[in-house]
Chain A
Amino acid sequence: MGRDRSGCVARSALLTALALLLCCPVAGNTAEQDSHTEHGDSRWGNETGDPQPGFHIVSLRWEQVQAPYVLALWILVASLGQAVFHLSEKITSVVPESALLIMLGLILGGIVWAADHTASFTLTQTVFFFYLLPPIVLDAGYFLPNQQFFRNLGSILMYAIIGTIWNTVTTGLSLYGVFRTGIMGDLNVGLMEFLLFGSVIAAVDTVAALTVLEDVHVNEALFIVVFGESLLNDGVTVVLYNVFDSFVEVGAGNIQGLDYFKGIVSFFVVSLGGIAIGIIFGFLLSVVTRFTERVRVIEPGFVFVISYLSYLTAEMLSLSAVLAIAFCGICCQKYVKTNLCEQSITTVRYAMKMLASGAETIIFMFLGISAVDTNTWTWNTAFILFTLVFISVYRVIGVVIQTWILNHYRVVRLGLIDQVVMSYGGLRGSMAFALVVLLDLKHIHEKRLFVSTTIIVVYFTIIFQGLTIKPLVKWLKVKRNQQKEPLLNEQLHGRVFDHIMSAVEDISGQIGHNYIQNKWTNFDRKYLSKMMVRKSAQISRDKILSVFRELNLKDAISYVSEGEWQGSLAFMRSINDVNVDFTGPRYTALDSSNSAVLCENANEVRLDMQATENKAKSPKDREEIVTHHMLQQHLYKPRQRYKINYSRHKLVRSEDEKQDKEIFQRTMKMRLEHFKPTKLEVNHNATIRNTKKEKATVKKHSDVVPNKQTLTHSDALHKDKDSEVKNHCDPSDDGISFLITPEINESEETITGTNNFCLNFFTEEDQLVCQIIPLLTSDEGTIILSQKVNLQLPRSPNNFRHRSESIDSFLLADISEEDPLSESSI
């Protein structure tokens, strides 16, 4: 089968190149692949050989560009649609992204249908397997949190392999059983077809459920299990699908016992072989990126091309291509992120998201067209209903049984809510649809029934379950914790508990910092990293540099915290603490954790309704609310409660990295205080100059670090930062104007009533008003410190810009040198 496909590619190389460019299929009204290639060939042939009477300066060549043109337009419309949906925060917070896309696809499909009453485009095998599937899988593999994945590998494999087989077999057999009773009427299907259908419909796309976890349920273990399952079961599904497909092709009558055995063997060979190919290519990619430092521009290209090659190679060897590219992504991410420069990494991240999101959008558009195309429909109530019932029921049963077994071996158990999320989150997505569309009508006589059932299932699960899962989980959670608001002390001690628990787990090694993992880390450090990571990145492990980094870190921390504490910029934060919920990214441009400057998105500031609603309550209540609020937002989270985010359509950065970094910096700071109290006496500016010199000398010695690069880098960063400061002002401006009008009056009352700490914030509001104005009006984007602040900062430097530069250079050191370090500790 794989050979077939690659042969096809060879024949239509030109066409493929075109399709690759646009990432879109070129197909006429004919669905058959052969005629489509011929069609394409002849068209391109015409172009050169057509005798043109006379010379036309301008001619309309619509025929020539029609197919890619229409598709490009489609993608444009789809993207615009997405953009429009995202204008409203309300919609995106309620409706999951995939549901939005699928509705968009339906609308677009409807428009096309209304226009010419034909399905102008159909999904072909080449397009799906060669252009649409790889980006989706690669994206998931590349963004998979490695460490947690391997920690939970056992559970993930169980859910992905056993779970998928379970779903396939039970659904297939049950449908067959029901079919035998005769309820479904007369269908031309055998057992194998049912099993094939089972494998199609078993392809769970749980990524959609991940977005729910983000908001509702914070649990690292669940996240990684769901994510990992979703990634691996794509591979398993494709393998199963191919096995059953070839069984059907052979014909149920011709299958002997040996063939079943062969099927099972091939399942393992194909999967493991795919994984092996992926790992090989992943390491190859890592080695290649080691030597690309002079060709930064094409650096990101390597990532895509080599990953794609792993996919094609596996396909060529008829191994699981999906697993290959997934594991290629998993293996290379660590080294690639160390080797590539910051810009390249960003490029890779964005391009990856763009391709994956685009591919999924295209699949959903096909889905929409198929849904409105009456030619594809065959209605069989019993079949459709039973399919829906069986997939839901067996998913639940499968999850419950597997979780029950796994919980015997897991330290962090998966609780009831986790199981609900897993079962209910078993959405069927693009994969199921694509697979069913690609069935061969010659062998599967009821293909149309299968397609329409799958369409119903996809729509039902994505729209209905996708929309209801969040409220459901919330409701369950509320029901389970129907207790009074915890007291301050309880909350505090509870948090201490959580930290202790995770620490004791770490210490006693129950999570799995064990022998094998340590061996692996050592092996990695000794051999793999040496081979695959650039010298410059390795140097960052050197003693001198790390000491320097610590000094720099210390310097920046003390400066920022000092400046902040003295009030120069503190107002922003203190205001927000009281009235604006910034559980989203905070204004870290001014934070001590400077590293977060890079990726802040200030638009996500939401007014915290809880805090504002409670205005009317008594000052005492208010005080409590504020305190609780403070606690909830700013207490460090224990590891188990970390949020790891993944969305196919959005780039998210978890706050937890920040938290880790911050704690790291704190410990560093503390150690340094023990280490060298004398150095602190030195004048700050002098220290900076010193460290800069030091850096320069270190650089000279290490002569691999691209000096120039770093400089331009810092410039760019600087600009970024300036603009970011501006950005930060805008949303806070909104917040502030909101605050100023009703809140100041309110606050005066509060002040008289209470002498608690929110008083601090309120009194600062007055400062805020006068401080924010110069900030906002400053044209060049520099921060003008008000007189007052200058007075407040005893050691404040006269030129803030200069200081901020120094922070940037620190930041650079932080980015380029801390990352490999922290990575290496994995």
Chain B
Amino acid sequence: MGSAPSLPAWEIRNLAHTTGFTSEQIEILHRRFLHLTDGKATMSKDCFDNIPDLESNPIKSRIVNAFFDQRNLGLQSYGTVDEITFENFLTTLSFFQHMDENHTKEDLEYYKTEKLQFLFRMYDTNGDGKITLEELREIIDDLLSKTSNTEKTSSSIADAAMMEAANTCGGQMEPDQQYDGITFNDFLQIMQDIKIESKMHVRFLNMDTSAICK
């Protein structure tokens, strides 16, 4: 793709600094970005329809939405944007960077929280800082195979999951207090056993694989 306009060097440096990608990675991703947008500078949701493999992903719309979620793009407000720039694209992808061992412990902890935050926002569709039973049910609904899925099934799984969450993190709850949703802190607690740093990362290759292996 020789004809594609490449990024100016200073911009790459800037992006590398803010997102933590290497300049090679940025160039590859930029090429990918342009490929998805057909050469335009901004990306809309339709662009994701060009990826055939994504079509078979049951939570496709959620993932795509995450790319347009203002909370993930470093903006404080809640809501979605219509189009994202390459920088936004990189920012979202940077949640999936691999963390190598030479970071300090605080850094690692910070990144882990960041990653979890990303995940949390994916559940918390209305942005109130809690995963409600309804939101949990929705995602289970998405995940459950249709062949067996009745509304009752997904809601009862959601019930059970919620109950479990309440048991795990409800230690400080009053007896008559109602558990109305998983807060981010609870979420952290639930997820503490999952090695998120090793699980939630994509290996961004340093070289352009398009020429080597299909």
Q: Which residues of A contact B (CB under 8 A)?
A: 150-155, 409, 411, 413, 487-490, 492-497, 499-518, 561, 564-565, 570, 573, 577, 586, 588, 591-593, 623-624, 627, 630-631, 633-636, 638-639, 659-660, 662-667, 756-757, 760, 825-826
Q: A496-B59, A638-B57 are in contact. List 15 more A-B contacts (CB 8 A).
A: A413-B203, A490-B191, A493-B191, A494-B194, A501-B199, A506-B57, A507-B63, A510-B205, A515-B210, A516-B214, A573-B148, A630-B153, A633-B148, A636-B144, A639-B57
B157 to chain A minimum Cβ distance, whole angstroms, is 6
Contact between B165 and A489, CB atoms less than 8 A apart: yes
Contact between B139 and A663, CB atoms less than 8 A apart: no
Q: Which residue of A lies closest to B29 (CB)?
A: A508
Q: Which residue of A lies closest to B116 (CB)?
A: A493
A667 to B164, CA, bound (A): 31
Give the chain A neighbours of B157 by CB distance below 8 A.
Answer: 488, 492, 627, 630-631, 757
Contact between A490 and B194, CB atoms less than 8 A apart: yes
Contacts A493-B119, A573-B147, A756-B156 given; indicate if A151 touches B214 (C-beta within 8 A).
Answer: yes
B22 to chain A minimum Cβ distance, whole angstroms, is 14
- Interface majority SS on A: helix, strand, loop or mixed? helix
Q: Which residues of B contact A (CB under 8 A)?
A: 1, 28-29, 31-32, 35-36, 48, 51-60, 63, 67, 93, 96, 119, 122, 139-140, 143-153, 155-157, 159-161, 164-165, 168, 190-191, 193-194, 199-200, 202-205, 207, 209-214
Contact between A634 and B149, CB atoms less than 8 A apart: yes
Q: How many A-B residue pairs have CB under 8 A?
A: 208
Contact between A634 and B57, CB atoms less than 8 A apart: no
Give the chain A neighbours of B160 by CB distance below 8 A.
Answer: 488, 623-624, 627, 756-757
Interchain CB contact (< 8 A) of B213 among A409, A507, A515, A825: A409
Give the chain A neighbours of B56 by CB distance below 8 A.
Answer: 639, 659-660, 663-664
Contact between B164 and A662, CB atoms less than 8 A apart: no
A561 to B60, CA, bound (A): 22
A216 to B92, CA, bound (A): 35
Contacts A499-B57, A757-B152 given; indicate if A593 touches B147 (C-beta within 8 A).
Answer: yes
B127 to chain A minimum Cβ distance, whole angstroms, is 18
Contact between B193 and A490, CB atoms less than 8 A apart: yes
Contact between B55 and A664, CB atoms less than 8 A apart: yes
Give the chain B neighbours of A411 by CB distance below 8 A.
Answer: 202-203, 205, 209
Give the chain B neighbours of A409 by CB distance below 8 A.
Answer: 205, 207, 209, 212-213
A-B CB proximity, top 10 nearest: A757-B156, A514-B210, A154-B213, A509-B32, A634-B145, A660-B56, A503-B63, A636-B58, A506-B53, A150-B214
A634 to B153, CA, bound (A): 11
Contact between B146 and A666, CB atoms less than 8 A apart: yes
Q: Which residue of A lies closest to B155 (CB)?
A: A757
Interchain CB contact (< 8 A) of A635 among B31, B144, B209: B144
Give the chain B neighbours of A635 by CB distance below 8 A.
Answer: 143-145
A154 to B53, CA, bound (A): 20
A610 to B204, CA, bound (A): 41
Give the chain B neighbours of A507 by CB distance below 8 A.
Answer: 36, 48, 51, 54, 63, 67, 93
A490 to B161, CA, bound (A): 9
Contacts A504-B96, A631-B157 given; indicate if A636 touches B145 (C-beta within 8 A).
Answer: yes
A561 to B153, CA, bound (A): 14
Contacts A153-B214, A493-B191, A508-B204 given; indicate if A500 touches B63 (C-beta within 8 A).
Answer: yes
Q: Which residue of A lies closest to B151 (CB)?
A: A565
Q: Which residue of B lies closest to A657 (CB)?
A: B56
Give the chain A neighbours of B52 by CB distance below 8 A.
Answer: 513, 825-826
Give the chain B neighbours of A153 by CB distance below 8 A.
Answer: 213-214
Give the chain B neighbours of A570 by CB distance below 8 A.
Answer: 150
